[in-house]
Amino acid sequence: MDIRIENRNTFYVSGYSVETSEASLEKDCVMLREKHEDKLRSISDHLYFVSWMAKEGVMAYLFGVETTSKTPATNGAICMEIPATGFAAATVLDGAPVLATWYDFFETF
């Protein structure tokens, strides 16, 4: 896994979201990818998972692609503004399972 710090200007991520809990996180994120990955990859091979606390005990995940405006990239998508700041970014290697890599990223770093 290639990990680096990136300083980014404000950008937008457009895609599909799910609210989940720690107990169903893996199942819900797999469902989100299975349902929308092909559609998103037709726009870009650079996919993003954005996460935030929606409310106490509930995490929200947005699976999407970077866009240049708040306009959703596809029908039914939502768009989130990501403010300018420094980000820890990881590139998932070809063939590596995304969720296992995500867990490794947070456990290691």
* pLDDT the model gives residue 72: 93
* pLDDT the model gives residue 7: 95
13 lies in which domain range?
A: 2-108
Tell me the pTM.
Answer: 0.80
Q: With b meaning 16 or more CB within 10 Å and e meaning fewer, what string describes 64-101? A: bbbbeeeebbeeebebbebeeeeeeebebeeeeeeeee
What's 51's domain CATH number? Answer: 3.20.80.10
Cβ atoms of residues 11 and 73 within 8 Å = no
* pLDDT the model gives residue 30: 87
pLDDT grade for 98, boundaries at 50, 70 and 90:
low
**Count of domains for the chain:** 1
